[in-house]
Amino acid sequence: MKVQLTTNQIEWRQQFRRFAEEQVKPYATQSDRNERLSEEIMESIRSSGYLGSMVQEEYGGKGFGPITQGLLNEEIGKVCSSTRAMLTVHGMVAIAIQRFGTEEQKQTYLPQLSDGSILGAFALSEPDTGSDAKSIQCKAEVRNDSYVLNGVKKWITMGQVADLILVIAQLNDGPTAFLVEKDTPGLSIEAMTGLMGNRASMLAELHFNHCVIPKANRIGKEGMGLSAVALNSLDYGRYTIAWGCVGLGQACLEKSFSYSKTRKQFNQSIGEQQLVQKMLTEMIVEVKAARHMCHHAGYLKEINAPESIMETWAAKYFSSKMGVNVANHAVQIHGGNGYIQGNDIERLYRDAKVNEIIEGTSQIHEVLIAKNANMAWIRS
């Protein structure tokens, strides 16, 4: 397995790290408090071209490979999970169009998604439907030369500000994917606030009331909305979330390691206490293990190995659990100082939990991994 970064990948990682530290991190706490990504972050992301990181160069994107894509999400996830969430859902829309869209759809939307002139959101979940995606209630009907959408989508990341929404709806008893622009008559957007973590991810509930969608805005074949379009988008989403968890865990580790050297109790630094050393050791090993799993999944994607989907499930499952455990240790090491609003550790702790829920809960991953595992994969 290839684990060594190329010179080009190392240079990109350095660039991503500088960007995250200089352009995103200074506004992360403010965004969390306001439950909205700051205009400074939004403008920086647009200007950077990173919104097109997953788009092929012929359509104006950067055409990053999976490993470089992972490094970007790790560095952004290290400083602001909500900004990483924006990159994830935006990419899920771009990936769907790039993989299943018509040439007209690609030419129309991919350049705009790449330069940030439009922002994408992925709409699958509903008020009564989460993991059981086949039970979605949002309906699409054929009417003349158009489709008419009715229903509600909930928990839609960036739904408050997205310009283009990839919607999965039932059409003739088969889930089908559609591109819906935000100014479509009949679409109303209700902001969701009061989240525990990822508070700046601008979630929304979307109401479709007789929304007329041109037939040209269907993505992929009828009935292939889940098995093809959503499957590929969710695979990309899980992969980037896994890397984002590595970044979050790395941030918790670095801050805890530094704090343990300067915080003194009983006439010595707390880092000299064996129980603190135990927590730091667990953090170091778990972060390294999660990063290794993400690298492996990325390498398999780069060589188009079919088992990359299984490795992505495993990486997302482990990395999300790692993030919660490492963040918990970080708060414990910081004590009261890690439990107060305004401290990065407090925000990282709140942000960590949602990663065990989004793009498939940890329990769903346990079912998927156990049911689909085979001896060859287990031994690999």
Catalytic residues: 359
Angle at 182 between CA 91 and CA 58, to 5 degrees: 40
Angle among Cα 155, 160, 163 to the nearest 5 degrees reads 115
Q: At 141, is the secondary structure helix, strand, or coil?
A: strand
Distance (Å, whole) CA 37 – CA 67? 26
Bridge partners (DSSP) listed for residue 170: 139, 175
Structure tokens at 199: 């508070």
Both structure tokens of 171 = 């059409």
Residue 173 φ then ψ, to 5°: 65, 20
Backbone CA torsion sign across 116, 51, 149, 241: negative
The three-class DSSP label of residue 344 is: helix
Beta strand pairing call for 164-171 and 139-143: parallel
